[in-house]
Amino acid sequence: MSRPQFLTSESLPRTRMRRNRQFDWSRRLVRENTLSVDDLVWPVFVLDGEKRRETVASMPGVERLSIDLLVDAVGEAYELGIPAVELFPYTDENLKTPDGKEAVNPNNLVCRAVRAIKAKYPDLGIYTDIALDPYNSDGHDGLVKDGCVLNDETVEILCQQAINQAMAGCDVVAPSDMMDGRMGAIRDALDAAGFQNVMMMSYAAKYASAFYGPFRDAVGSSGALGKGDKKTYQMDPANTDEAIRETALDIAEGSDMVMVKPGMPYLDIVHRIKEAFGVPVSVYHVSGEYSMMKAAVQNGWLDNDRAVLESLMCFKRAGADVIFTYCAVEAAKLLAK
Ligand code: PBG
Higher pLDDT, residue 6 or 231: 231
Nearest atom within ligand 1 for CA of residue 326: 15
pLDDT at 101: 95
Atom of ligand 1 nearest to the CA of 286: 15
CA nearest to 172, candidates 290, 324, 46, 329: 324
270 inside domain: yes
What is the Cα–Cα distance from 226 to 232, expressed in whole angstroms?
16
The reply to whether 19 falls in a domain is no
Query: Average pLDDT over the chain, rounded to whole?
Result: 96
Asked whether 287 lines ligand 1 (CB < 6 A), one says: yes
90 close to 218: Cβ distance less than 8 angstroms: yes
The pLDDT value recorded for residue 297 is 98
- Kindly state whether residue 13 falls inside one of the protein's structural domains: no
Instruction: Give a three-class secondary structure readout of 112-167.
Output: HHHHHHHHHCCCCEEEEEECCCCCECCCCCCCEECCEECCHHHHHHHHHHHHHHHH
Catalytic status, residue 231 = no
Q: Is residue 73 in some structural domain? A: yes
State the distance between the two ends of the chain, measured CA to CA, in whole angstroms.
Answer: 41
The pTM assigned to this predicted structure is 0.96
pLDDT at 3 over 70: no
Which pLDDT score is estimated for 5? Answer: 77
Q: Is the pLDDT of residue 228 over 90?
A: no
Ligand 1 centroid distance, CA of 134 (Å): 10
CA angle in degrees (0–180, nearest 5) for 174-175-176 = 105
Q: Given the residues 96, 230, 261, 294, select the one marked as catalytic.
A: 261
Task: Report the alpha-carbon distance of residue 276 to residue 241 in Å, rounded.
Answer: 11
Closest approach atom of ligand 1 to CA 288: 14
Whether 313 is in a domain gets the answer yes
pLDDT confidence tier of residue 4, bands split at 50, 70 and 90? low
* pLDDT above 70 as % of the chain: 99
β-pair type (281-285, 257-261): parallel
* d(CA 23, ligand 1 centre) in Å: 42
How do residues 48-69 score in pLDDT, each as one tens digit? 999 999 999 999 999 999 999 9
Average pLDDT over residues 145-167: 97
Does residue 215 line the site of ligand 1, with CB under 6 A?
yes
CA–centroid distance, 303 to ligand 1, in Å, is: 27
Task: Report the alpha-carbon distance of residue 273 to residue 224 in Å, rounded.
Answer: 33
Cis upstream peptide for 262 (omega within 30°): yes
Residue 5 forms part of a structural domain: no
- Tell me what pLDDT residue 309 has: 98
Overall average pLDDT of the 83-111 stretch: 96
Residue 118, classified by CB atoms within 10 Å of its CB into exposed (0-12), middle (13-18) or buried (19+), is middle
d(CA 107, CA 187): 23
**Which of 105, 81, 57 has its CA nearest to residue 287?**
57
| Residue 18 maps to a domain | no
What pLDDT score does 226 carry?
Answer: 80
* Confidence category of residue 121, pLDDT binned at 50, 70, 90: very high
Identify the band that residue 31 occupies on the pLDDT scale cut at 50, 70 and 90: very high
List, for residues 235-266, the tens digit of each pLDDT value.
999 999 999 999 999 999 999 999 999 999 99
Known binder of ligand: residue 153?
no
Q: What is the pLDDT of residue 266?
A: 98
ipTM above 0.90, yes or no: yes
Residue among 45, 85, 133, 215 whose CB has most ligand 1 atoms within 8 A, to mutate: 215
Segments forming the whole domain that contains residue 235: 36-336
Strand partners, 261: 206
Spatial separation of the C-alpha atoms in residues 169 and 117, rounded to whole Å: 10
The predicted pLDDT at position 8 comes to 80
Q: What is the mean pLDDT of residues 120-148?
A: 95
Q: What is the mean pLDDT of residues 141-149?
A: 94
Q: Are 100 and 136 in contact (CB under 8 A)?
A: yes
Q: With a cut of 90, say whether residue 10 has pLDDT above it.
A: no
* Catalytic site includes residue 206: yes
Counts of helices then strands in the chain (DSSP H, E): 12, 12
- The pLDDT of 304-332, averaged and rounded, is 98
Catalytic residue among 96, 206, 274, 294: 206
Rounded mean pLDDT of 7-28?
Answer: 92
| CATH code at position 112 | 3.20.20.70
Confidence of residue 198 (pLDDT cuts 50, 70, 90): very high
% of the chain surpassing 90 pLDDT: 91
Residues in the chain: 337
Q: What is the mean pLDDT of residues 177-191?
A: 98
**Number of domains into which the chain is organized:** 1
- Cβ of 218 below 6 Å from ligand 1: no
Comparing 105-109, 118-122, 227-231, 272-276, the range with the smallest average pLDDT is 227-231
